[in-house]
Amino acid sequence: MGTGFLMKEQISSIQTEALELIANAGDVRALEDARVAVLGKKGSLTLAAAGIKDVPKEEKAEVGQLLNAARSAITTALEKKQLALQEVADRAALAGIDVTLPGRAVLTGALHPLTLIRDEAIGILRRMGFALADGPEIEDEFHCFDALNTPADHPARNEKDTFYFDSGKLLRTHTSSVQIRTMEGAKPPVRIIAPGSAYRRDEIDATHLSVFNQLEGLYVAEDVSLPDLKGTLEYFLQELFGPQTEVRFRPHFFPFTEPSFEIDVKLTVKGQAPRWIEVAGCGMVDPAVFESVSKTRKDDAFDPAAVTGFAFGMGLDRLAMIRWGIKDIRLLIENDVRFLKQFA
């Protein structure tokens, strides 16, 4: 008997055995073992195929065909079995699960409207050249009042209006204290904004909270003028609320600015008559403030004869109310999810 005949016998018995192995494989692991045993580097069919070099020339084609047929029959059987095993595994994994039930919604978090409006305000003012500054919320009377030209008998300093600690410190009644702290540590030109909390013993109602959020601004340089103040704040408010926004400057009094103004923006809430809502206090920095800063610094960097400036303090809560037509400021701190969801 020639090599060719022997090899044909061998191939057909390898194929029979292989198909049996595959048929009996009970899981993916056993199937993989079968594949390696037959088609792997040292698999039975691989080793048998190496023998083709000893087959006489005239039989090579026939043996070769048989080899290919065996390999493809085995490969097909492997693939079919693989699918069948996978289906069994899938069924087992899904046992007891009702895939027709509706899915569970994944709740996504979102930023609070106050955070949104604060970040937007900061963004606009930073583009205009203002840098961020900061100061403590537990402040001393000097930075909160005295340095801001606010004398001891001023109503803002009254026990009834202010949260004092036994130490004599207080929860800052405004962010204007950051103006002083900034000028103590920097030289003109100074162009800063300072967002943060402020505290007052205010009666809580639809437009007042005892903790609220302000955004302070200060610009000091040579030749800063009232038109600079007006232009800056009008531009800011129209960037924030749109170009049609109506803005009004009303003369007012603050101890640390002269002249001083309050700024109103027209609030339009659906179903309500439009009304003006106060959003900020502002004015030209009072020379007395520069004098006080100069005394602390012991230099003339802020000599009132050489520099001028403007300052403003905006109510961030009020800005949020205008932006979204919120009727009651208390909604901003109640954490009612039905309210907050609208900003997600």
Residues making contact with ligand PHE (CB under 6 A): 174, 176, 254, 257, 260, 281-283, 311-313
DSSP letter assigned to residue 134: -
Q: Six-digit token pair at 123?
A: 């963004």
Question: With respect to ligand PHE, which residue has the nearer C-beta, 81 or 172?
Answer: 172
The least CB distance from residue 103 to ligand PHE, in Å, is 50
The least CB distance from residue 274 to ligand PHE, in Å, is 24
CA distance 71 to 66: 9
Question: With respect to ligand PHE, which residue has the nearer C-beta, 45 or 218?
Answer: 218
- Find where tokens 């969801």 sit: 341
CA-CA-CA-CA torsion sign (217, 221, 225, 228) = negative
Q: Edge-to-edge strand order for the sheet containing 275-285?
A: 131-132, 190-199, 211-221, 308-315, 275-285, 257-267, 247-254
Question: With respect to ligand PHE, which residue has the nearer C-beta, 81 or 191?
Answer: 191
Length of the chain counted residue by residue: 344
The least CB distance from residue 139 to ligand PHE, in Å, is 12
CA distance 293 to 143: 10
The least CB distance from residue 283 to ligand PHE, in Å, is 5
Judging by DSSP bridges, how do beta strands 211-221 and 190-199 pair with one another?
Answer: antiparallel
The least CB distance from residue 116 to ligand PHE, in Å, is 22
Question: With respect to ligand PHE, which residue has the nearer C-beta, 81 or 174?
Answer: 174
